[in-house]
């Protein structure tokens, strides 16, 4: 089965894990700090904080910024549920915003402006598929309304830009991402004070961690605020350091396969639309394709699976999920709903070959014809 996504793991990761185990120190320590420094340097950032997941990163950003009950946060519905859930975690209200268009399935600045109210405190941008949101448009909107601008950069690891568009950003290293630590995430922020608050919050609000107390030869610490157990461990950080070194090459492969998909789909499946222009900065995390409106997507999925090809959907809109759909105040999101009803995610990962891409496109053409 040709999978939608497949991590690249090998002997380097095995050796890195063995070194951690042999060191006798597996909880948060020097490798986590080394990973933070390497990740920040690779993305042109001054610093970052490693946490247990991108969801934890989003939660901590909102919490550290003082977002809470009575506040509203603008979010796209075309995203994973964690984007909206993180707003609920702090007691605020997610307000769903439509996407720009079928060709640019990113949260719309124009629609967001219309939904701003006296209670709007923040907006979470999602770099869907790894394609970057418009920096100028969002900075202008945030400045006009005094909003905290948060980047959900779960899809956008390894591309220049994320972490510099907004006031803070959250990255993901889940198993299907461009680089992985199994589970894990990173927080970046412009304001050093906000970043230090996140650092405290990720570890129970403790003024020192276990490794720091070992080196300082004192067991004493304080708890200054109500924090969480959102730490990254040494095992994940060790894998992350290995993965980070390969990320530029892996992203280059993704970019090449994405461009090949575009050329072949244009020739073999002209009725299938590919979002975003080829010039837009992107990590090429996934390969979304928009099927013709009349196509039976479930039947196409079944036929592709019979051909040995896994596909999936990004995403079922969050406002359609049971947790959210019964809320009476969700406005119409027609572009999101049309995009979500036609989107099909095709395989894209560095372990593929050009022949794999050709196989997918030809199988898709056959599935659409029959």
Q: Is there a single domain that holds both residue 251 and residue 221?
A: no
Specify if 103 maps to a domain: yes
93 tagged catalytic: no
Specify if 2 maps to a domain: no
Q: Is there a single domain that holds both residue 166 and residue 212?
A: yes
**Other beta carbons less than 10 A from residue 297's beta carbon:** 15
Selection from 50, 26, 1 nearest residue 203 by Cα: 50
Q: Is there a single domain that holds both residue 262 and residue 344?
A: yes
Q: Is there a single domain that holds both residue 221 and residue 286?
A: no
Which residues, in sequence order, are bridge partners of residue 149? 123
Q: Which residue has the tokens 């947790």?
A: 323
Q: Is there a single domain that holds both residue 186 and residue 271?
A: no
Q: Which residue, of 242, 265, 285, is where some domain finishes? A: 242
Q: Is there a single domain that holds both residue 126 and residue 43?
A: yes
Q: Is there a single domain that holds both residue 148 and residue 230?
A: yes
The rounded distance, in Å, linking the Cα atoms of 169 and 166 is 7
Q: Which residue, of 242, 270, 292, is where some domain finishes? A: 242
Q: What pLDDT sits at residue 175?
A: 97
Residues in the chain: 370
Give φ, ψ of 17 to 5 degrees: -65, -40
Residue 362's Cβ-count burial label (10 Å; 0-12, 13-18, 19+) is middle
Q: What pLDDT sits at residue 222?
A: 86
Specify if 3 maps to a domain: no
Selection from 141, 151, 98, 99 nearest residue 120 by Cα: 141
Integer angstrom CA distances of residue 227 from 42, 60, 67, 211, 221:
28, 9, 15, 18, 14
The rounded distance, in Å, linking the Cα atoms of 100 and 102 is 7
Q: What pLDDT sits at residue 360?
A: 98
Specify if 196 maps to a domain: yes
Q: Which residue among the candidates 59, 177, 273, 314 is catalytic per the annotation? A: 177
Q: What pLDDT sits at residue 300?
A: 98
Q: Is there a single domain that holds both residue 160 and residue 253?
A: no
Q: What pLDDT sits at residue 217?
A: 66
Q: What pLDDT sits at residue 214?
A: 65
Q: Is there a single domain that holds both residue 108 and residue 208?
A: yes
User: What is the chain's pLDDT, residue by residue, as a tens digit (370 residues)?
Assistant: 999 999 999 999 999 999 999 999 999 999 999 999 999 999 999 999 999 999 999 999 999 999 999 999 999 999 999 999 999 999 999 999 999 999 999 999 999 999 999 999 999 999 999 999 999 999 999 999 999 999 999 999 999 999 999 999 999 999 999 999 999 999 999 999 999 999 999 999 888 766 666 676 677 788 889 999 999 999 999 999 999 999 999 999 999 999 999 999 999 999 999 999 888 999 999 999 999 999 999 999 999 999 999 999 999 999 999 999 888 788 889 999 999 999 999 999 999 999 999 999 999 999 999 7
> Into how many domains does the chain fold?
2
Q: Which residue, of 222, 242, 262, is where some domain finishes? A: 242
Q: Is there a single domain that holds both residue 266 and residue 233?
A: no
Specify if 86 maps to a domain: yes
Q: Is there a single domain that holds both residue 15 and residue 148?
A: yes
Q: What is the CATH number of the domain that holds 288?
A: 3.90.1150.10
Determine how β-strand 72-76 pairs with β-strand 93-97. parallel
Q: Is there a single domain that holds both residue 278 and residue 190?
A: no
Range of the domain at 357: 247-369
Determine how β-strand 148-153 pairs with β-strand 168-172. parallel
Q: What pLDDT sits at residue 230?
A: 98
SS3 track for the chain: CECCCCCCCCHHHHHHHHHHHHHCCCCCCHHHHHHHHHHHHHCCCCCCEEECCHHHHHHHHHHHCCCCCCCEEEEECCCCCHHHHHHHHCCCEEEEECECCCCCCCECHHHHHHHCCCCEEEEEEECHHHECCCHHHHHHHHHHHCCEEEEEECCCCCCCCCCCCCCEEEEECECCCCCCCECCEEEEECCHHHHHHHHHHCECCECCCHHHHHHHCCCCCCECCCCCECECCHHHHHHHHHHHHHHHHHHHHHHHHHHHHHHHHHHHCCCCECCCCCCCCECCCCEEEECCCCCCHHHHHHHHHHCCECCECCCCCHHHCHHHHCCCCCCCCHHHHHHHHHEEEECCCCCCCHHHHHHHHHHHHHHHHC
Q: What pLDDT sits at residue 208?
A: 72
Give φ, ψ of 117 to 5 degrees: -135, 180
């Amino acid at each position: 089965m040709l999978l939608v996504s497949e991590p690249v793991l090998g002997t380097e990761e095995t050796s890195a894990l063995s070194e951690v185990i042999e060191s006798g120190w597996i909880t948060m320590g020097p490798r986590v700090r080394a990973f933070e420094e390497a990740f920040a340097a690779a993305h042109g950032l001054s610093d970052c904080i490693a946490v247990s997941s991108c969801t934890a990163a989003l939660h901590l950003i909102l919490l550290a910024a003082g977002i809470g009950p009575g506040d509203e946060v603008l979010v796209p519905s075309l995203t994973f549920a964690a984007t909206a859930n993180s707003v609920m975690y702090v007691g605020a209200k997610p307000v769903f915003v439509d996407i720009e268009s079928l060709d640019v399935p990113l949260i719309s600045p124009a629609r967001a402006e219309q939904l701003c109210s006296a209670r709007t405190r923040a907006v979470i941008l999602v770099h869907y598929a790894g394609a970057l949101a418009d920096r100028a448009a969002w900075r202008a909107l945030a400045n006009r309304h005094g909003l905290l601008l948060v980047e959900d950069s779960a899809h956008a690891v390894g591309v220049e830009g994320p972490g510099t568009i907004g006031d803070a950003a959250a990255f993901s290293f889940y198993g299907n991402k461009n680089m992985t630590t199994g589970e894990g995430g990173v927080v970046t922020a412009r304001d050093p004070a906000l970043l230090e608050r996140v650092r405290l919050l990720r570890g129970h609000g403790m003024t020192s961690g276990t490794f720091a107390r070992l080196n300082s030869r004192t067991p004493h610490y304080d708890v200054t605020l109500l924090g969480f157990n959102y730490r990254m461990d040494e095992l994940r950080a060790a894998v992350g350091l290995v993965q980070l070194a390969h990320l530029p090459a892996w992203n280059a492969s993704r970019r090449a396969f994405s461009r090949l998909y575009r050329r072949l789909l244009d020739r073999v499946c002209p009725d299938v639309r590919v979002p975003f222009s080829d010039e837009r900065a992107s990590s090429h995390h996934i390969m979304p394709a928009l099927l013709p409106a009349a196509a039976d997507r479930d039947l196409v999925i079944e036929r592709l699976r019979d051909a040995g090809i896994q596909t999936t959907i990004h995403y079922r809109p969050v406002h359609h999920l049971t947790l959210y759909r019964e809320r009476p105040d969700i406005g119409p999101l027609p572009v999101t709903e049309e995009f979500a009803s036609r989107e099909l995610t095709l395989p894209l990962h560095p372990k593929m070959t050009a022949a794999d891409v050709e196989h997918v496109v030809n199988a898709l053409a056959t599935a659409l014809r029959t």
